Amino acid sequence: MLLLFTLVLFTFDFTISMPLLPEGNFVSANLTGISNIAKPGCQTKCGNLTVKYPFGIGEGCYLDDGFELTCNSTHYDPPELFIGSSSITIHNISDSEMRIFNTIAYACYDEAGVPDISDGCIQLKESYRTFSQKNKFTVIGCDDFVLMNGKLNEIDFVSGCLGLCSIESVVPNGNCSGIGCCQASIPKGLRYIISSFKTFGNHTSVMSLNPCSFAFLAEEGSFDFGGVNDLKDRKFNTRTNPIVPIVVDWVVGGEGSCSQATACKGNSSCNDVDTGGYRCSCKEGYEGNPYLDQGCQDINECEDKTNFPCYGFCTNTPGSYNCTCLHGYEGTDGKSADGCRHVAKDSKFSEVVISLGIYTFT
Ligand SMILES: *[C@@H]1O[C@H](CO)[C@@H](O)[C@H](O)[C@H]1NC(C)=O
Ligand SMILES: *[C@@H]1O[C@H](CO)[C@@H](O)[C@H](O)[C@H]1NC(C)=O
Ligand SMILES: *[C@@H]1O[C@H](CO)[C@@H](O)[C@H](O)[C@H]1NC(C)=O
Ligand SMILES: *[C@@H]1O[C@H](CO)[C@@H](O)[C@H](O)[C@H]1NC(C)=O
Ligand SMILES: *[C@@H]1O[C@H](CO)[C@@H](O)[C@H](O)[C@H]1NC(C)=O
Ligand SMILES: *[C@@H]1O[C@H](CO)[C@@H](O)[C@H](O)[C@H]1NC(C)=O
Ligand SMILES: *[C@@H]1O[C@H](CO)[C@@H](O)[C@H](O)[C@H]1NC(C)=O
Ligand SMILES: *[C@@H]1O[C@H](CO)[C@@H](O)[C@H](O)[C@H]1NC(C)=O
């Protein structure tokens, strides 16, 4: 048997004088530079969390009172980051959200049906933060109706969830399906939440299956109902507080809007948020921190061919880039693969053909 593989490669050997990219002429933004994160002299790390302006730790490091954070490294290892002087602990912060550690409300009943209750109240600072609609109000219990009381722009709001079950065998694992676990959506703009527990029979008939009921906000997808294990566990709250975060949306400008915006610095734009306030973002072609002077820095697109294709000669420009055809090619658009066409008469290139054969005999 004879197998024959033939591979033919065509390569074009350019002999034209190809201009070298004048990399040295560009001021390339050092986007990992510390100046892009916080005000000069301010702490940027708390444990392994990065604290970016408008948030800040210490006097003069934050935009205004709503963005003051406290890093406690003396009593916590690793250090913990708190919102202002509150007891709300931050899990992480992004450009529009933060995740905070949970505070789970509970009602635990003794054999006589007498409850020990904690209402799990969480108050976000007015006009800076709201609970994200990514959260679900979640109730774990077999004999309970839990009301979620909140405030929506000064108007009281009440909703609730029903947790019912009678015997172990009907309680599913994993899905919060209404049996022993109930989840409800929350309205946009909620800044305050407190749970009030109502019970049908003080848990006396379900005591062995479910002594406590629990109520909390949970980022959708972050909570897997553990079924009977969760219903029986009196320590469900302390176990779950650190692993099921609450998502909080943050804005600057309080009740204001972009028309009064002062927080968005050079080369950034302002975006109104429908629940009040606004956020800033770097303009297209810039990246960095839009809340700091010189925070948005020009992207050198020529250094990122994957996201900014150029099949010719690339020149960075403020906010964009030019891509012109190489010598010997013509066209108007070097940014697309077939934007430049070869001009035969001007070029001196040779064509090399390589033939490669692999023969196998058996
Ligand atoms: C960018 O700035 C950081 C911090 O100032 C520094 O450690 C890093 O070496 C700089 N990178 C470049 C490419 O200049
Ligand atoms: C941050 O630190 C905590 C606690 O040490 C650790 O569990 C977590 O994985 C760390 N996160 C990152 C992104 O390094
Ligand atoms: C750290 O936390 C402890 C205990 O909650 C508190 O006594 C202490 O004042 C805090 N330190 C700072 C710097 O906030
Ligand atoms: C914050 O934490 C959540 C949950 O652990 C994770 O999914 C998310 O990617 C994190 N976000 C940032 C900006 O670190
Ligand atoms: C959850 O419900 C979905 C759809 O009803 C189902 O496909 C899935 O198997 C259930 N998961 C568990 C762990 O019960
Ligand atoms: C539940 O407990 C409350 C107060 O502990 C008591 O007033 C009420 O009668 C009890 N209800 C039932 C159905 O046991
Ligand atoms: C905006 O970006 C341009 C080009 O990078 C720079 O020259 C200019 O100083 C920036 N403007 C401000 C206000 O930072
Ligand atoms: C980029 O292209 C524009 C339009 O063709 C031209 O006006 C400008 O001078 C070019 N800039 C650079 C830096 O080459």
Domain end position, chosen among 281, 298, 315? 298
List, for residues 295-337, the tens digit of each pLDDT value: 999 999 999 888 999 888 899 999 999 888 888 888 877 888 7
Q: Which ligand is nearest to the CA of 285?
A: 7
Higher pLDDT, 347 or 116: 116
List, for residues 175-207, the tens digit of each pLDDT value: 898 899 999 999 998 988 999 999 999 999 999
Average pLDDT over residues 26-45: 67
Q: CA-CA distances (angstroms) from residue 362 to 4, 266, 359?
A: 12, 72, 10
- Ligand 1 pocket member 87 (CB < 6 A): no
Task: For residues 71 and 52, give the distance between their C-alpha atoms in angstroms, rounded to a whole number.
Answer: 13
- Asked if residue 23 is part of any domain, the answer here is no
Average pLDDT over residues 211-240: 94
Does residue 240 sit in the same domain as residue 111? yes
Which position has the token pair 């002429």? 25
- Ligand 5 pocket member 174 (CB < 6 A): yes
Does residue 159 sit in the same domain as residue 259? no
Rounded distance from Cα 322 to ligand 8 centre (Å): 6
- Ligand 5 pocket member 294 (CB < 6 A): no
Rounded distance from Cα 202 to ligand 6 centre (Å): 6
pLDDT for the residue 200: 93
- Asked if residue 48 is part of any domain, the answer here is yes
Q: Return the residue whose CA atom lies nearest to atom 1 of ligand 8.
A: 322
Task: For residues 65 and 43, give the distance between their C-alpha atoms in angstroms, rounded to a whole number.
Answer: 17
Task: For residues 252 and 261, give the distance between their C-alpha atoms in angstroms, rounded to a whole number.
Answer: 9
pLDDT surpasses 90 at 342: no
- Asked if residue 28 is part of any domain, the answer here is no
- Ligand 6 pocket member 242 (CB < 6 A): no
Does residue 130 sit in the same domain as residue 240? yes
List, for residues 50-78, the tens digit of each pLDDT value: 999 999 999 999 999 899 999 999 999 99
Does residue 48 sit in the same domain as residue 164? no
Does residue 114 sit in the same domain as residue 54? no
DSSP state of 284: T
Q: Which pLDDT band, with edges at 50, 70 and 90, does 345 fall under?
A: low
Does residue 150 sit in the same domain as residue 190? yes
Q: Which ligand is nearest to the CA of 46?
A: 2
pLDDT surpasses 70 at 3: no
pLDDT for the residue 329: 84
Does residue 119 sit in the same domain as residue 166? yes
- Asked if residue 228 is part of any domain, the answer here is yes
List, for residues 226-283, the tens digit of each pLDDT value: 999 999 999 999 999 999 999 999 999 877 889 987 899 989 999 999 888 999 999 9
Contact 57, 46 (CB under 8 A): yes
- Asked if residue 24 is part of any domain, the answer here is no
Q: How many CB atoms sit inside 10 A of residue 18's CB?
A: 11
- Asked if residue 264 is part of any domain, the answer here is yes
Higher pLDDT, 20 or 92: 92
Mean pLDDT of the chain: 84
Mutate which of 199, 202, 207 for ligand 6 pocket (most atoms within 8 A of beta carbon): 202
- Asked if residue 125 is part of any domain, the answer here is yes
- Ligand 6 pocket member 78 (CB < 6 A): no
Does residue 110 sit in the same domain as residue 233? yes
Average pLDDT over residues 97-114: 94
List, for residues 282-292, the tens digit of each pLDDT value: 999 999 999 99
Task: For residues 305 and 322, give the distance between their C-alpha atoms in angstroms, rounded to a whole number.
Answer: 13
pLDDT surpasses 70 at 360: no
- Asked if residue 26 is part of any domain, the answer here is no
User: What is the tally of structural domains in the chain?
Assistant: 3
Mutate which of 26, 265, 267 for ligand 7 pocket (most atoms within 8 A of beta carbon): 267
Does residue 64 sit in the same domain as residue 137? no
Ligand 4 pocket, Cβ-based, cut-off 6 angstroms: 91-92, 94, 99, 245
Domain extent, residue 312, equals: 2-16+301-361
pTM of the full structure: 0.79
pLDDT for the residue 7: 38
pLDDT for the residue 35: 58
- Ligand 6 pocket member 110 (CB < 6 A): no
Does residue 80 sit in the same domain as residue 166? no
Does residue 129 sit in the same domain as residue 239? yes
pLDDT for the residue 235: 94
Which backbone phi and psi does 279 adopt, to 5 degrees? -135, 155
Does residue 128 sit in the same domain as residue 201? yes
